């Protein structure tokens, strides 16, 4: 695993709409906090959100602020491993899932590779990411738009996002 010399602040979005979502999400947080190169610094509240894509159950969504000593790709691989541990099967990209872990921000890194784009390319249009993120980092500046998370959230329809 590639280690980064000093901790980088990262935002991860979590979501689940299959199985026992509260237990799955808590388990994912536990796994993240047990990783020797990841420190869980802050956690948002949980929000029940309307799904995007085909008909499916509502999601339970939240965000966490981490300090990581992993490269962006090593962090992505760690998240993919945790998703698999909790039964994530990738079929339909917009379909239901037991666990979804997305890197939203990796410090102020802007990156585009075949396997990873940072910041997350669709986060600025997703109230289910930005509303929980406002709980923990409303002043975080998106390095692409130069806008704060709060400013990005204020321009969206947030009617489908409800505190759990």
For the question of residue 151 being annotated catalytic, the response is no
For the question of residue 88 being annotated catalytic, the response is yes
Of 20, 100, 151, 155, catalytic: 100
Strand 47-49 vs strand 59-70: parallel, antiparallel, or unpaired? antiparallel
Of 45, 88, 108, 122, catalytic: 88
For residue 62, the surrounding DSSP H or E stretch is strand 59-70
Of 97, 126, 135, 142, catalytic: 97
For the question of residue 97 being annotated catalytic, the response is yes
For the question of residue 135 being annotated catalytic, the response is no
Of 102, 126, 135, 142, catalytic: 102
Quick one: which of 76, 74, 48, 70 has its CA closest to 61?
48
Which residues, other chains included, contact 77 with Cβ-Cβ below 8 Å and sequence gap of 6+? 1
Which residues are catalytic, by number?
Answer: 88, 97, 100, 102
């Amino acid at each position: 695993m590639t280690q980064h010399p000093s901790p980088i602040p990262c935002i991860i979005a979590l979501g689940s709409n299959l199985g026992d979502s509260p237990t799955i999400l808590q388990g994912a947080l536990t796994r993240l906090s047990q990783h020797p190169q990841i420190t869980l610094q802050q956690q948002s509240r949980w929000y029940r959100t309307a799904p995007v894509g085909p008909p499916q159950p509502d999601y339970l969504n939240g965000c966490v602020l981490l300090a990581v000593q992993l490269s962006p790709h090593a962090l992505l691989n760690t998240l993919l491993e945790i998703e698999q541990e909790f039964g994530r099967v990738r079929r339909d990209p917009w379909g239901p899932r037991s666990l979804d872990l997305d890197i939203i921000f990796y410090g102020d890194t802007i990156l585009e590779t075949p396997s990873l784009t940072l910041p997350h390319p669709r986060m600025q249009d997703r109230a289910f990411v930005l509303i929980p993120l406002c709980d923990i980092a409303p002043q975080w500046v998106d390095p692409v738009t130069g806008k704060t998370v709060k400013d990005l959230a204020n321009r969206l329809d947030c009617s489908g996002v409800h505190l759990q």
